[in-house]
């Protein structure tokens, strides 16, 4: 069960939670799906094996995708037309230099109304536009720890809505 932790500030622009099991990582992705708006840019930060693709899988399943969800480590991008959104899942782990992002012509996706979910965004810096949501995953004694920051008005709205949904799902919080 997702354990929602006290917010770091009163603005509601940051959410912190403990995710004891892989299913909880998928569940927070699923809850996030309801808050998405066209054009959002979401950065997923964390070492290998932290659950970035697992969170994305939960998000896509909640939007109605029934097929396989894999990390686009070798393809760079996996496009999905789901529910009401075009969603683009990127993985820049294999970039040797940020210029590879420009060479691949991926900037057009970030200028569209599609939702862009990016694993390893630091590998394409400084060319990526700033994120609306920044999600950091790290190991915790018993599972994972997630911190979600809303960096824009749209991102802050997502974090506030997500927090309300998670608190509503857990009467103990």
pLDDT (tens digit, 0 to 9) for every residue of the chain, 173 residues total? Answer: 676 665 555 566 899 988 888 899 999 999 999 999 999 999 999 998 888 999 999 999 999 998 888 877 778 899 998 877 899 999 999 999 999 999 999 989 998 899 999 999 999 999 999 999 999 999 877 888 999 999 999 999 999 999 888 887 554 44
Options 3.40.50.300, 3.30.930.10, 3.20.20.60, 3.30.1380.10; CATH for 3-168 is 3.40.50.300
| Phi and psi, residue 158, nearest 5° | -60, -45
DSSP for 75-114, written as a single string? TSEEEEEETTEEEEEEE-TT-SSTHHHHHTTTHHHHTSSS
The two most distant CA atoms of the chain are separated, in Å, by: 50
Whole-number pLDDT of residue 10: 56
Whole-number pLDDT of residue 167: 81
Whole-number pLDDT of residue 1: 61
Task: Retrieve residue 89's tokens.
Answer: 């899942």
Domain range summary for the chain, segments of one domain joined by +: 3-168
Whole-number pLDDT of residue 63: 93
Q: Do strands 14-19 and 143-150 pair parallel, antiparallel, or not at all (unpaired)?
A: antiparallel
Whole-number pLDDT of residue 91: 93
Go through the chain and tell me how many residues it has. Answer: 173
Task: Retrieve residue 167's tokens.
Answer: 């608190």
Q: What is the Cα–Cα distance from 71 to 103, expressed in whole angstroms?
A: 21
Q: Are 67 and 59 in contact (CB under 8 A)?
A: no
Alpha helices by DSSP H, listed for the chain, are 22-33, 52-62, 99-103, 107-110, 153-169
Q: Are 121 and 43 in contact (CB under 8 A)?
A: yes
């Amino acid at each position: 069960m997702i354990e929602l932790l006290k917010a770091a500030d009163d603005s509601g622009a940051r959410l912190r939670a403990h995710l004891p099991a892989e299913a909880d990582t998928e569940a927070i992705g699923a809850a996030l799906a309801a808050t998405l708006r066209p054009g959002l840019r979401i950065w997923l930060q964390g070492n290998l094996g932290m659950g970035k693709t697992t969170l994305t899988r939960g998000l896509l399943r909640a939007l109605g995708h029934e097929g396989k969800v894999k990390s686009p480590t070798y393809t760079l991008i996996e496009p999905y037309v789901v529910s009401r959104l075009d969603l683009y899942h990127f993985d820049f782990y294999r970039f040797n230099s940020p210029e590879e992002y420009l060479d691949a012509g991926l900037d057009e996706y970030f200028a569209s109304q599609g939702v862009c979910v990016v694993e390893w965004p630091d590998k394409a810096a400084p060319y990526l536009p700033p994120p609306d949501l920044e999600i950091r995953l790290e190991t915790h004694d018993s599972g994972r720890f997630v911190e979600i920051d809303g960096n824009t008005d749209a991102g802050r709205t997502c974090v506030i809505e997500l927090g309300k949904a998670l608190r509503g799902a857990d009467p103990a919080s």
